[in-house]
Amino acid sequence: MRLSRYFMPTLKETPAEAQIASHRLMLRAGMIRQSSAGIYSWLPLGFRVLKKIERIVREEQDAIGCQEMLMPTIQPADLWRESDRYDDYGPEMLRIRDRHDREMLYGPTNEEQITDIFRGAVRSYRDLPQLLYHIQWKFRDEVRPRFGVMRGREFLMKDAYSFDLDRAGAQRSYNKMFVSYLRTFERMGLKAIPMRAESGPIGGDMSHEFVILANTGESEIACHRDFLDMGWALSDIDLDGDLQPIVDAYTAKYAATDEERDPETERALGDDLVTARGIEVGHIFYFGTKYSKAMGAAVNGPDGEDITVEMGSYGIGVSRLVGAVIEACHDDAGIVWPVPVAPFQVGLLNLKPDDPACTAACEDLYATLNGNGVEALYDDRPERAGVKFADMDLIGVPWQVIVGPRGLQQGVVEVKDRGTGERGEQSIESALAMLTG
């Protein structure tokens, strides 16, 4: 992409409304624009990141056999009356009437809808288990939206739902999601710690929040020190095998969100206890027959009897993750994207577009990078070098290739690693080899 033609309205000054780093940087980098409180438009740069995160989430859901579908944003109120949640949900639910005065709502979540689909389609225990998900916009009319996309009213969420014959099956589905989440966040360069969460009316321990550590996180958390250095060798796991040992390994050590903290355990941990601030990026939850019972979602068992299915739901805040990654990965100059979610891999800076030789070298590099499938943002604007450096640091592409006549005379370009800040001169060939290899 040529920056001269890219819609990326960066700001030198910070808009007054933005308080936390991710919000400031997303506005300054031209990733988002606010529409109204808690509702944002995603500009091309932000949209690229959103799509990258969405893709990783999708791939890791697919990897455990969870099937993608798409449910609507607008739902009929009657469905929610079946589960008694239409009244329970309160003013956070955005209620709408259509032209025929039918009561509708903008979905804050989709348990009712998926249960409705399931009960109308599945009759036999032979069709279980089922794992289904979609990635869809949600609306929750928060009392007080804040922190940019971290707590918006409209937000993109991956929500998955599992249907199993019994508790043991539900546990297997839960474990799949648990491991899938570990892998998902790891791929984004995040350290997400699974923390025991409020278990609700079902009881047991099948509810976990996945929290990433960041100084500006919303909630106070506490965990065993070992989580900080825990190796996350998860890429070679057999996802069809028994995942219980992995889940056990990750839940053996103490980790709790604010509401779930246990002073006694924490005292016993002593120096092994770490308290920090965290951002919840995922939540998995087993809720048994709460909805299937209320809505009549049952299958025929082996003996012909009706068996109410066991369900769980599993959410990842996709749009929130964009902000969360920035909270975890930024410095004074701007964003420092982890490679897998970076909007572009390489920023190519032409320091002197007026110079034919310099521009020729840049065009050549740009074409080669494109030809090798490297996403490059080529700053071919006539701006001064300082503007280009500042913008490129701000938007945080992992590698910057800086091309100027001075270096070219020596046959070298400067390559900067945004993460480490290391800069060095290299021949064009070796720079290309590194970036395309």
Partner RNA sequence: CGGGGAGUGGCGCAGCCUGGUAGCGCAUCUGCUUUGGGAGCAGAGGGUCGCUGGUUCAAAUCCAGUCUCCCCGACCA
- Where on the chain is the footprint of RNA (CB under 7 A)? 10-17, 19, 28, 34, 36-38, 92, 140, 142-147, 151-153, 155, 157, 218-219, 280, 283, 315, 317, 320, 333, 351-352, 354, 383-387, 389-391, 393-394, 402, 404-408, 414, 416, 423
| Nearest distance in Å: CB 348, RNA | 13
| CA–CA distance, 370 with 295 (Å, rounded to integer) | 53
| Nearest distance in Å: CB 225, RNA | 25
Q: Of 5 and 126, which has the nearer Cβ to RNA? A: 5
| Nearest distance in Å: CB 221, RNA | 12
Q: What is the SS3 assignment for 32?
A: strand
Q: Of 71 and 237, which has the nearer Cβ to RNA? A: 71
In this structure, the number of other CB atoms found within 10 A of the CB of residue 100 comes to 5
Closest CA to 93 of 82, 79, 104, 78: 104
Q: Of 270 and 386, which has the nearer Cβ to RNA? A: 386
| Nearest distance in Å: CB 110, RNA | 13
> Please, what is the end-to-end C-alpha distance for the chain in angstroms?
20
| CA–CA distance, 362 with 349 (Å, rounded to integer) | 8
Q: Of 188 and 394, which has the nearer Cβ to RNA? A: 394
220 near 281, Cβ under 8 Å?
no
Cβ-defined contacts of 354-361 (< 8 Å, 24+): 354/382, 355/405, 357/405, 357/408, 358/403, 358/404, 358/405, 358/408, 361/403, 361/408, 361/413, 361/428
Q: Of 118 and 389, which has the nearer Cβ to RNA? A: 389
| Nearest distance in Å: CB 229, RNA | 26
Q: Of 255 and 408, which has the nearer Cβ to RNA? A: 408
Q: Of 85 and 320, which has the nearer Cβ to RNA? A: 320
| CA–CA distance, 335 with 397 (Å, rounded to integer) | 8
| Nearest distance in Å: CB 355, RNA | 9
Q: Of 66 and 401, which has the nearer Cβ to RNA? A: 401
| CA–CA distance, 335 with 288 (Å, rounded to integer) | 42
| Nearest distance in Å: CB 128, RNA | 26
| Nearest distance in Å: CB 75, RNA | 17
Hey, what amino acid is at 313? Answer: S
Residue 148: which region, alpha, beta or left (left: phi > 0; alpha: psi -120 to 50)? left
Strands 399-403 and 346-350: parallel
